[in-house]
Amino acid sequence: MSQLTKRSEDYSKWYNEIVVKSGLAEFSGVRGFMIIKPYGYSLWDRMKTILDKMLQFTGHQNVYFPLLIPKSTFTKQEEHTEIFSEGCAVVTHSRLIKTNQDQEKLIVDPESKLQEELVIRPTSESIIWKTYKRWIQSYRDLPILFNQWGNALRWEMRTRLFLRTTEFLWQEGHTAHSTKKEAIEEAIKILNIYTDFSEKFMAIPVLRGIKPYMDKFYGSEKTYCIEALMQDGKALQIGTSHFLGQNFSKAFDVKFTNFNGKKEYVWATSWGVSTRLIGGLIMSHSDDKGLILPPKIAPIQIIIIPIYYKENDIIINEISENILNILKKEKIRVKYDNRIGFTPGWKFHEYEMKGVPIRISIGKNEIQNEKVEIFRRDTYEKTYIPWKDLKNSIQKLLDEIQKNIYKKALHRTQKLIKKSDQYNDFKNQINHSGGFIFAHWDGTKNTGKKIQEETEATIRCIPMSNEKEKGKCIYSGNPSMQRVVFSKSY
């Protein structure tokens, strides 16, 4: 098994290699589409299970809407359409037929042309709000708190595994409310869920904020977001939660009769996180030896590897399987790799690459001393634990690893959070260490654009925690009321 390119040599190459070599995913032959392999899918499945529980616990229900959206529905909300129509998969025909010239070759049957073209959902606001019109009459029908797990498709020019793929897996929530206040509260509630999910399970510290008006979701009034810093100092948007106002209810004419018998337009939110999260997970924690996965979401939490010696193979297997069963009873996701034909060294390398939090190895010495060797993927520490203590200490160790991975990411992030009041400084910081730079901005689109052209940094968000502070725009010198967060980003 070959080595990874070092992060310090070529970060982007390191990323691509780690995704493939750890067995998470690879590109398919179809441009921009990836294949999620078993290890990657079980990671996604684990993330999905946790987040789904959080969403259901807060009253959200899962539904499933059609993959294909008729063009007339898709294009109802103007602002929304403007951006999503630029790159979308359009279904125009429903049949292939053999050509007269070449019976081997199939062509699109012109006679199967659809009366109306269908667009593969890039996101489902339009088809869902068309349906909500049928479902919502009275305040009694509200709120609607629906979520959908599925695939979506956006035609991307430059794609990267997990981070930006034409097709992606995600959840998209679509809620309907009787008041503006309730809808805003919902959007923020979801941002809080995403924050908890990211910090407590993925071990990724995030910055919570609001997108500047020119970067909000098309069709929304306000986009709340969480942003995380990757190891190369660039930001990654982890999740977004949109307050849609009445934009979609107006586009689809969805009104409800309120308490007083008057008709009003419905208020809305939408929100989502996708397989992109896996990209963020990789770039937050992993190192030059491979993935580092937080125990709470690791598909395999502990790998047991036997170190065979001829004279005691049977004993090693017996003891390993005993330990395996003890750990399984503790509901730990554990695997015993007793494949022959692979050396222990090869296996060590393999599970380091896959980011399994704990490796237990059992050989001659361990049996003589009634201990196991414990290897921590996050710190490379080796310790020994007596067999009899394993049951009681292993969950604690997993919790400690979880905390340590978060702490490390938090420490790294905090070091890269800076204030800047001087444009040359700002440019230096962006180009060298990167990170989140808190700076004053005059609030104009044009300034944002200029800064991006000159530094590649964009305004990631207006932080929700931000205090008001008078100052001057770092670029134009014009007055500003608060700092915003700049960073290069994925």
With contacts defined by CB under 8 A, name the span among 148-156, 202-210, 244-252, 456-464 that binds its own copies: 148-156
Q: Which of 14, 15, 129, 146 binds its own copies (CB under 8 A)?
A: 146
Residue 479's alpha-carbon distances to 57, 125, 445, 457, 472, in angstroms, are 45, 38, 15, 21, 5
**Does residue 23 touch its own copies according to CB under 8 A?**
no
Helical segments of 230-270, H only: 247-251
Q: Strand locations in 80-135, DSSP E?
A: 90-93, 96-98, 106-108, 113-120
Site string for its own copies, 91-110 (x = CB under 8 A): xxxxxxx-------xx-x--
Min dist. Cβ of residue 151 to its own copies (A): 6
Min dist. Cβ of residue 194 to its own copies (A): 22
- The Cα–Cα gap between 292 and 84 comes to 35
**Does residue 67 touch its own copies according to CB under 8 A?**
yes
Residue number, 120 or 459, with CB nearest to its own copies: 120
Min dist. Cβ of residue 356 to its own copies (A): 16
Min dist. Cβ of residue 213 to its own copies (A): 24
- Range 142-158 burial, b when 16+ CB lie within 10 A, else e: bbbbbbbeeebbbbeee
**Does residue 466 touch its own copies according to CB under 8 A?**
no
**Does residue 383 touch its own copies according to CB under 8 A?**
no
Residue number, 248 or 375, with CB nearest to its own copies: 248
Size of the site for its own copies (CB under 8 A): 59
Min dist. Cβ of residue 444 to its own copies (A): 27
Cis peptide before 143 (omega within 30 of 0): yes
With contacts defined by CB under 8 A, name the span among 34-42, 176-184, 221-229, 279-287 that binds its own copies: 34-42
Residue owning tokens 């999260």 = 277
User: Which residues are CB-contacts of 424 (< 8 A; sequence separation ≥ 6)?
Assistant: none
With contacts defined by CB under 8 A, name the span among 25-33, 197-205, 233-241, 425-433 that binds its own copies: 25-33
**H/E element, 423:** helix 423-431
Query: Beta strands 302-306 and 334-336: pairing type?
Result: parallel
Q: Which two three-digit tokens encode residue 112?
A: 């199967």
Q: Which of 38, 59, 345, 477 binds its own copies (CB under 8 A)?
A: 38
What are the residues facing 268 on neighbouring strands? 176, 245
Min dist. Cβ of residue 37 to its own copies (A): 6
* Short-list 262, 251, 258, 271, CA closest to 133: 251
Q: Which two three-digit tokens encode residue 308?
A: 């065979």
Min dist. Cβ of residue 399 to its own copies (A): 25
Residue number, 278 or 459, with CB nearest to its own copies: 278
* Short-list 7, 35, 9, CA closest to 23: 35
**Does residue 423 touch its own copies according to CB under 8 A?**
no
**Does residue 85 touch its own copies according to CB under 8 A?**
yes
Torsion, Cα of 72, 74, 79, 85 (10° steps) = -100
- The Cα–Cα gap between 430 and 233 comes to 8
**Does residue 30 touch its own copies according to CB under 8 A?**
yes
Residue number, 85 or 317, with CB nearest to its own copies: 85
**Does residue 41 touch its own copies according to CB under 8 A?**
yes
Q: Report which DSSP code applies to 201.
A: I
Residue number, 140 or 407, with CB nearest to its own copies: 140
Q: Report which DSSP code applies to 152.
A: E
Residue owning tokens 């529905």 = 73
Site string for its own copies, 153-172 (x = CB under 8 A): x-x-----------x-x---
Burial of residue 395 (number of CB atoms within 10 Å: 0-12, 13-18, 19+): middle
Residue number, 114 or 464, with CB nearest to its own copies: 114
Q: Which residues bind its own copies (CB under 8 A)?
A: 28-30, 33-38, 41-42, 44-45, 61-71, 73-75, 81, 85-97, 105-106, 108, 112, 117-120, 127, 130-131, 146, 150-151, 153, 155, 167, 169
